[in-house]
Structure 1
Amino acid sequence: MRDTLDRPLTEPEEDPARFTRRRLVRWVAVLTIGIVVVLAIWQEPLYALRTV
Structure 2
Amino acid sequence: MRDVVSRPETGPEEDPARFNRRRLVRWLTILTVGTLVMLACWQDPLYP
Do both share a fold (TM > 0.5)? yes
Normalising by structure 2, we get a TM-score of 0.60
Calculate the TM-score normalised by the size of structure 1: 0.56
Question: Which structure 2 residue ranges, 5 or more long, are not aligned?
Answer: 1-10
Q: Give aligned-pair identity as a percent.
A: 61
Q: Which runs of 4+ in 1 moved over 2 A?
A: none
Aligned residue pair count: 36
Relative contact order higher in (CA < 8 Å, ≥ 6 apart): 2
Structure 1: unaligned runs, 5 residues or longer: 1-9
Task: Please say which structure displays the higher CA radius of gyration.
Answer: 1
Q: What is the RMSD computed on CA atoms of the aligned residues?
A: 2.3
